[in-house]
Each structure stands twice: as C-alpha cells, then as structure tokens.
Homo-oligomer: A and B are copies of this chain.
Amino acid sequence: MTSSSGTMLQVCSLQPPAEPAMSPRYIKFTNARVVLGSELVTQDLWVDSASGKICGVPKDVLAVYIKPIDLKGRILAPGFIDVQINGAFGFDFSNLDCLTNPVKFRRDLHSLNQRLIQTGTTSYLPTMTSQFTKTYHHALPFLGPTGTGRRASTGAESLGAHCEGPFFAHTQKGCHSPEAILSLGNTSEPELLARVYGEENLFSSPGSTPNVKMVTLAPERLGALDSIRKLSERGIVASIGHTAATYDQAVLGVKSGSKMVTHLFNAMNQLHHREPGIFGLIASSKDRVFDERVDLADDGRPYFGIIADGIHLHPASIRLAYGAHPEGLILITDAVMFMGMEDGVYEWTNGQRTVKQGMTLKLEGTSTLAGSAIDLMSCVNNLLRWTGCSIPDAIRTVTTTPAAMLGISVKGNLSPGADADLVVLESGHDADGFTAEVWNSSI
C-alpha cells in the first residue's frame, strides 16, 4: 500500500509491555508529539505503572523511580479502539468451541489478544455475527469486558461484546446465516432480548458493565424500538444496521435511543434523494423543522461505522460521510477470522464457506462481501489518503470518537486518569512507512 503524496502510517513493531513489578513506578515519555484534540503538541507524558493510568507530573520522586523514554519526535496517540471485529488470525468470536471446548476457546482468545494489540488495537468489542441462542449463551461470558482484571501482558482488551444480530431485516442480512435471523420471525415478546442473548449477559452488578456492550439491530422490526429503549437504559449501545428502514423509521430508532449506525452504507437501503434512508441521519441539521416530517436535531445525529478497506466503499462515499459529520465517523475493521491468514477457501460458521483473495472476502459462490481482512492502522491510513484530513483527526476516528460513543471516559484520550493504552507512531511519508510501537501499561 503506497501513496504518491500522503502521510503513511504503519504499525511495524511492538514494545512488549513490561509487567509493573519489573518497571520503575513512573514512565516519562519525552520529546513526544502528543495527540491532543486536533493538534499534535510536543510535551511530556507521564504514566503511573502502579495504576496503569496516565498521570500528571509526580512530585518529589527520586530519579530511580522514573523510566524516561525518549520518543525523538514520534507521535504518541491513544491506543486504537475497534468496535466491530468478528475475529482475526484464525479465531472467530462466534466459533463453536465455546460450546464444545471452552478451554481451547479461552486459550485461542488469549492468543488473539496478544496478536491484535500488535496491530495498534488496544481495546475492542469482540463482535458476534447472528447466531442461535445457545451460542450466545456460551460465548458471551468469554467476551465480556476485561475490566479491572486486565494486565498488559494479555494484550488487547475487551470492552464488552458487540452482538451484530440477529434482529435484522431479512432483506439486509448480508453474509449472516439466514437461519439465525429467520428463527426469530417477527417475535416481539417482552423478554426476547434476555432469552436470545442470555439474561446474565445483559445485566451486571452496579459499577460494572454487562458482557454485551453493543447490539446491532434493524429499527423497523416489530418490537425493535422497545428493545432500543431497554438496551439504552442499561448502557448498552443499540446500533442501527442490517436494516431496510426508511429515513423516518431510522429517525424513530435514534429518538428511541440509538446512537450508532453499523457500517454505514453496507447492508442498508441506498440513498434516494427523496428517501435518504440511514445516510440521511448523519446530515447536519441545526434546525429540525420540516413541515410535519420526523427529523433529527443536530446533536441527535448518530455516530456511524465506516469500513475503509477500499472494497466495501468507494473513497468518494467515505468523503461524503466524513464531510457530513466528521465528529461522528468511527473507523471499524469489520475484520473476520481470516484477517492475517493466507488466501484460500475457508469453512465458516453455519456451514458456509468464505473465499479470501487478498483483502477481499466473499461468501463462496456469491458476490456477497463477508467482512474484511484489514487492520485498523490501514483504515487510518486510507482515511488520511482519501479525505486529506489531519493525522490527529484521523486518529480521533479510532480513539476519542469510539470512546465517546461507548461512553467510556478512560479510553481514547491521553488525559491524566485515562488508561495508559498508548500507540507510538513515527511520522513518515509514502512507502517509507510509519514506525509504531504499541504500549499498554495496564495492570
């Protein structure tokens, strides 16, 4: 991947995080260009190894307790957050080992976390495609938030699972198993959410987070608006996706509590200029008056995921979406288990097979895209190239913006008190690449 003129970033090396017992109390990054809002500010950044948090300048500390790291002008950014990733390196978060071999499931998940962090992603929402109820009940307990139990050596951290399905429009199922979607019909029984995902995965003790952090669903389905309200009340993001909703139906979804759109453009109706559909949701509107029509206020616009792999979307579509609502754009990989694997034909869930050819993944025998094989760093590079936005603005789409969407204040920023999930990036151009190191000083 080269660019004739643009900045080029690449995660190319990992600084294996040291266990806190091995480290001095404080790490002091010097000569860093720190990503602060839309600026790169040259300043020091301190990390407290005891708490795994970014901290202010400590007072009266002997030099022996300080480990200085000279970044030599390199960029220091928050670790990347991927809110839609179905798997990678041969592991699928929906794989049936959760039922038949939970020990293997846990071990493979651990291995994925260690490799995922090398791509710059320090936290993520492990994302399950549409599954039968039993699979949810067995897999979700493994996929819940790593929470306070996290250690730097375990690699990337779960912020809770993303259940992408199964409450979809039948016409917009994408590559998901139709049986998993159809089995629910148009049921809207009051306790459907709990029955499908498992009661224990939607609730948590006070102060902690349930195993499920996000649900993608179609707002026009029977009972969907009520489900959106229930999920939102519990701090679970109800994201609009795999939907045949009209603009007005989607607006009702947002008004019911949805604050996210799953992979904008993909698996939804196209924009029509008189029926703009989901894309219309992100159009700026400071004034919501339009005769009797349902409409959104400016601050009610949802966040939206974008797959910037050059296969799912044309760059001009990404420019349109970014131009309409730059603060709402969240880059996602939508990667599946074949990310990082060789080309070939692979067995997938529910008896289907996927053909991997370079970055392109399709359901065998069809033209249906079956997720992506891209990493988040490459998505950031593509956004830089295709929109011409600044480096801090591109990094925001995988840090501050997803953290704000998830309502997680300790991620996606470099303020004192935030988790010390760090990525070190070296500014470079074109094929020269961008040397990046990933730090995760969590305990």
Interface contact B273-A272, CB-CB below 8 Å: no
A79: shortest Cβ distance to chain B, in Å? 26
Query: How many copies of the chain does the oligomer comprise?
Result: 2
Contact A5 B320 (CB under 8 A): no
> Contact between B3 and A289 (Cβ–Cβ < 8 Å)?
yes
In the bound complex, CA of A300 to CA of B4 (Å): 19
B290 and A315 form a contact (CB under 8 A): yes
Residues of B with C-beta under 8 A to A282: 320
A323:B283 contact, CB within 8 angstroms: yes
Please state if B388 and A287 are interface contacts (CB–CB under 8 Å).
yes
Instruction: Give the residue of B265, B289, B317, B322 whose beta carbon is less than 8 angstroms from that of A4.
Output: B289
Q: Which residues of B contact A286 (CB under 8 A)?
A: 387-388
Cα separation A78 to B363 with both chains bound (whole Å): 58
**A322 to B325, alpha carbons, bound, how many Å?**
12
> Please, which residue of chain B has its CB at the minimum distance from the CB of A319?
B283
Contacts of A319 in B (CB 8 A): 280, 283-285, 324
Contacts of A316 in B (CB 8 A): 247, 276, 280-281, 283, 285, 295
Q: Is A314 engaged at the interface, CB distance under 8 Å to the other chain?
A: yes
Closest residue of chain B to A286 (Cβ to Cβ) is B388
Q: How far is the CA of A282 from the CA of B316 in the complex (A)?
A: 9
A19 vs B179: C-alpha distance when bound (angstroms): 79
Q: When chains A and B are docked, how far (Å) is the Cα of A390 from the Cα of B115?
A: 50
How many A residues face the partner with a CB closer than 8 A? 47
Distance in angstroms between the alpha carbons of A310 and B289 in the assembled complex: 12
Q: Would A271 and B274 count as touching, CB distance under 8 A?
A: no
What residues on B are CB-neighbors of A141 within 8 Å? none
Is A226 interfacial (CB-CB < 8 Å)?
A: no
In the complex, chain A residues 275-313 whose Cβ is within 8 Å of any chain B Cβ: 275-276, 279-287, 289-291, 293, 295, 298, 310, 312-313
Chain B residues contacting A274 (CB-CB under 8 Å) are 312-314, 317
* A284 and B387 form a contact (CB under 8 A): yes
Interface of chain A, main secondary structure: loop
A295: which B residues are within 8 A, CB to CB? 315-316
Complex contact A265–B270 (CB within 8 A): no
A385 at the interface (CB under 8 A from B): yes
Say whether B313 contacts A279, CB under 8 Å.
no
Report whether A273 and B284 are in contact in the complex, using a CB–CB cutoff of 8 Å.
no
Q: Residue-by-residue, is A383-408 near B (CB-CB < 8 Å gives 1, otherwise 0)?
A: 01111100000000000000000000
Chain A contact residues, CB within 8 Å of chain B:
3-6, 247, 265-266, 270-276, 279-287, 289-291, 293, 295, 298, 310, 312-317, 319-320, 322-325, 384-388
19 pairs of residues in contact across A and B, judged by CB atoms under 8 Å: A3-B289, A6-B287, A247-B316, A271-B320, A273-B314, A273-B317, A274-B313, A276-B314, A280-B320, A282-B320, A283-B323, A285-B319, A287-B386, A290-B385, A293-B315, A320-B320, A320-B324, A323-B323, A324-B324
